[in-house]
């Protein structure tokens, strides 16, 4: 199972690198509730930021799910 997880994470990182190499055109990011004006950044940075937010969200959601074995 650990090998499958390592291969999956490596594939996701490879995809992130390919996105970063091929999407360097600036795009607008608008979020009216939190930002007063549009943020203009390269698309690759936005993909990386969304990926980081997803990883942090997953880490927070799995914090309390560890089972301990008391023998």
Q: What pLDDT, in 10s, does the model give residues 20-69?
A: 788 888 889 888 888 899 989 888 888 888 888 888 898 888 887 666 66
Instruction: State the pTM of this model.
Output: 0.60
Q: Which among 43, 40, 39, 38 has a CA at the least distance from the CA of 25?
A: 43
**56: exposed, middle or buried (C-beta count within 10 Å: 0-12, 13-18, 19+)?**
exposed
C-alpha 14/C-alpha 12 separation (Å) is 5
Q: What is the mean pLDDT of residues 2-23?
A: 86
| Domain extent listing, the chain | 7-53
Structure token pair of residue 9: 């994470």
Structure token pair of residue 10: 């490596």
Structure token pair of residue 15: 């995809």
């Amino acid at each position: 199972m650990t090998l499958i997880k390592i291969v999956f994470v490596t594939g996701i990182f490879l995809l992130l690198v390919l996105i970063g190499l091929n999407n360097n055109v600036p795009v607008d990011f608008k979020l009216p509730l939190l930002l007063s004006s549009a943020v203009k950044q390269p698309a690759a940075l936005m993909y990386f930021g969304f990926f980081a937010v997803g990883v942090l969200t997953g880490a927070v959601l799995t914090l309390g799910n560890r089972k301990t074995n008391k023998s």
